Amino acid sequence: MQLDISVVLNIHREKELLAKTLLSIRDAADFAAAAGIAVELVMVLDSACDTTARIARGFQSQSFLRLKIVEVANRSLAHSRNDGIAAADGEYICITDGDDLFSYNRLVESLLLARKLGTDYIILPEYLISFGSRQGLSVLTGSGALTPLIFPVDHPYISSIFGHRSAFEKHKYVHPRGDRGHAYEDWHMNAELLADGYRYAVARNVALYYRNHSASIMAKAREATYPLTLAPTRLLEPENYLRIGRADVEAYEIGTKRPLDSVDDNAHLRDAFLRNSSTLEMMAAAGRIEPMISPANVGGQVHSQRFAFLDAGLAYYRLCEVVAGKRFTDVFVVPYFVHGGAEKYVRQIIESLLRTDPSRQILAIAMEYADEHIAVYDLPANVCFLDAYHVAGHLLPQQFSEITLKLIENTAPGARVHFRAGAGSHRVLEIALNRLGPDQIVYYHFLNHRSTNVDLDQPLKLVDQITTMGGHVVSDNTASTKSAQGLVSPRISYIPASCMSASRIADQSMRKRILWGSRVDREKRCDLLPRIAQLLVAADPAICIEMYGGVIERTQHLLPPKNTPGLSYCGPFDSFADLARLGHEIFLYTSWYDGMPNVVLEAMAHGKTVIAPDIGGIDDAVMDGKTGVLLPSDRNDARMAKAYADAVLALLSDPDRSAMLGKNAQAYINEVRTPERMDSALRKLFDIEPVTGTEAEARR
């Protein structure tokens, strides 16, 4: 006799609840037998407890053409589903779990619909009725009305599916790696089926009765800060996602298709269900087995489909448009690409990686708003830049972070992902800590302590987490490689920023004009400049500090008034080379806190005599009396201003010493701050071998 359906029942520790599930399946098999449909039951006992195993082995019924028991110790729902399918002989497979029930018409209606539609259809029940610790009614929808655009952040289908055995032979369930934040083998399976062109349909008036437990994996996942999520899948690979979602996106844009709404309390759906005599009859039959299944208990959430996350799916589609057809070996997640020291350091890392291996494919993702990511134009031509904030910044922060990480997972599997500190990149990193391998994560950390009220708790906690798990933390200064006790952390790598030296231009007529160039901001301690200028003018009225730097509306008040004696604001600058050509000899740097400021290195590279505070990692480059003047940092403004003024006056009174410090600074840059040193340090850190041009071309 032909075997039509195999019900694959996964069993673990259901105990007495299993008996109710078996009675429910028996009723469905009896109903099928009356229609001439032969059914077998394959029970997969995965590390079942004694009580559960005893109930399964003791179950006897003439309703099934065959009864099989498969005993395994997988402790994996995915592997156990595959084992059950391998043992099944039916033409069609119905997947279900050991504590759920379904309406007695399920097998008949699902088989009739499947045979009518073809082997490329997966059949779902029309209704999902939750009972137990959570009650609810869901009206499921086939793929004709349901868009796959929901899949990046939500699973609209269920684990209990019905389909031709060829679908399950072609697509195996994949065990989710909980240590990577992945879960729900059913979410992944349904995504893979959609990617392969399978469609979904619902069998009318068929119900799955889903038992909710307060201590279940699903319940715990709903309460998690970062819920478990879909593992990388072919559906979310940009080329597939664009192909499968294109029609829906176009339909939404022109208004010919409207997304289904997510409804929390949709009375008309409940009323329609309760007026349906067929569904009530099925529920009454199930209620005789499990009294908690009752029309009186059809409460809680009622909705037609979970569609709250369609915006996230549409945003993911737009991100995919940028990277379609590309795969990456390295990804850089940064706040923005503007002309700043941190951005320049990141760009140098990118350039170093490409010098070592020109075949590397690099994706740079900006997670925060910028009027213009102007530094993008300085990136190597083969770097793909993605302004993720422009595309998806309107989403809830967790959704934005989630789809960004999914894009990385599906376009750069196994790649190193480099994170530069920032609110947006930190959110992605916090999720990635559970999803990426430790060797994949690289975090750039530039300072340990700040003298103002700026919160550094999050970056320092991330440093601790990353080093503990074995990831990479990289700093451009030695101060950030030390603990609060001053001990060097072996898990933080010091890679000096590179800097190209330039011709020293020192115009004697400019000796008494002191250069200050930085961002005009309270963090840069700009309010010291009027005090310093006052002291200098008192000693020599010809001395003037010329202040260059970008200013925004909130920092306008930090600019000195016009005609301030000894202090003049001269406007913003695009590059330090523009300032260097003016011929100043002395460069003044002020700040409350810092790592290794790039502007100090550039001043040294141009042979300027630098006066700077001993904060952060500045002493890596500015060695007092050798390559510049390093002042003890003092929180008292009056004392700090006097220290700066005294240092300026001392240099002006000793031109030979000033010139010597400038030349020594250039020599330091030429010896220590070279691209070759950075290349060597990166190769050692990441254990990579240099690749020749011929080899790189072959890899592309």
Q: Which two tokens stand for residue 128?
A: 């999902």
Q: What is the largest CA-CA distance in the chain?
A: 109
Residue 262's pLDDT is what?
A: 45
Angle, helices 185-195/238-254, rounded to nearest 10 degrees: 80
Which amino acid, residue 658? Answer: S
In the chain, what are the helix, strand and coil shares in percent, each to the nearest 5?
45, 20, 40
Among 594, 627, 626, smallest CA distance to 613 is for: 594
469 close to 433: Cβ distance less than 8 angstroms: yes
| Integer Cα distance of 640 and 634 in angstroms | 5
Rounded to 5 degrees, what angle do the CA atoms 15, 21, 27 make?
Answer: 150
Quote the tokens at residue 33: 């037998």
**For position 3, what pLDDT does the model report?**
96
CA distances from 619 to 246, 451, 478 (A): 56, 17, 9
Instruction: Name the residue among 555, 559, 565, 504 with its Cα closest to residue 533.
Output: 565
Contact status, residue 653 vs residue 511, Cβ threshold 8 Å: no
598-605 and 341-356 are packed helices; what angle lies between their axes, rounded to 10 degrees? 70
Q: What is the pLDDT of residues 519-571, one digit of tens each?
A: 899 999 999 999 999 999 999 999 999 999 988 888 898 899 888 999 999 99
- pLDDT at position 697: 59
Q: Are 567 and 533 in contact (CB under 8 A)?
A: yes
Question: What angle (nearest 5°) sits at the alpha carbon of residue 87, between those of residues 82 and 90?
Answer: 105
What pLDDT score was predicted for residue 182? 78
Cβ proximity of 321 and 159 under 8 Å: no
Q: Could you list the mean pLDDT of each consecutive 10-residue stretch along the chain, which spans 700 residues?
A: 94 95 97 97 96 95 95 95 98 97 97 98 95 86 84 90 98 86 87 96 96 58 59 95 92 68 60 89 94 82 62 94 96 90 91 94 96 87 94 94 96 96 94 92 83 58 88 92 64 91 84 94 94 97 96 88 93 91 95 93 96 96 98 97 98 96 96 94 91 62
Query: Which residue reads 């019924």 in tokens?
Result: 61
pLDDT for res 297: 73
Q: Which residue bears the tokens 């400049």?
A: 529
Helix (H) or strand (E) holding 163: strand 162-164
* 3-state SS assignment for residue 561: coil
Distance from C-alpha of 668 to C-alpha of 662, rounded to nearest angstrom: 10
Half-sphere exposure in the Cβ direction for 543 (13 Å, CA)? 22
Best CA proximity match to 286, nearest among 101, 30, 18: 101
Beta strands 162-164 and 92-97, pairing class: antiparallel
DSSP annotation string for 532-559: HHHHHHHH-TT-EEEEE----GGGGGGS
In three-state secondary structure terms, 387 is strand
585 vs 308: CA distance, rounded Å: 61
Task: Look at residue 261 in the predicted model and tell me its pLDDT.
Answer: 47
